Amino acid sequence: MGRTRSVENNLACADCSRGADVVFVLDLSGSIGQENVQEMIRFLELMINSLNVDADDSDSTVSRVGLAKFADSASAEFQLDTYDKRTELLQAIYVKYTGGKTNTFDAIRYSS
C-alpha cells in the first residue's frame, strides 16, 4: 500500500495537459504472481484516472490507452482506439493472471 500512495503523490505532479498515446505492457508470467498482478492493475487505475480519456478526438488533451500482456508470448488485450470512456477502460484492465514463462523478448518485439 505504501508504494501505491507514493505513486499517487507523483501522479498529482504530472503534466497531463497534452494528450498522449499510452500502451501498458503487463507481465502475467508465473514469476510475477497474482498479488503483484493486482498491484499492477491498481497502478493502471491510478494512471488512467490521471489522464483525460473521455474527451472527443478534436480535444488536444485527450489520451488514448492500449494494453498488451505477455507470459509465454505477447498479445494485445486492447488497442489504443478500443475504448474512449474512462469507465470502459477501468473495466478492461482487469486481465486474467495466466502464469507461464517470462518471454520478455517477445513483449519487447511485440510492442516495438
For the chain, 112 residues long, the average pLDDT of each consecutive 10-residue run is: 55 64 96 96 96 80 94 96 94 96 95 84
- The CATH architecture that domain 2-111 belongs to is 3-Layer(aba) Sandwich (3.40)
Question: pTM of this prediction?
Answer: 0.83
Rounded-to-integer distance, Cα 19 and Cα 40, Å: 22
What pLDDT, on a 0 to 100 scale, did the predictor assign at position 7? 57
Task: Write down the domain spans for the chain.
Answer: 2-111
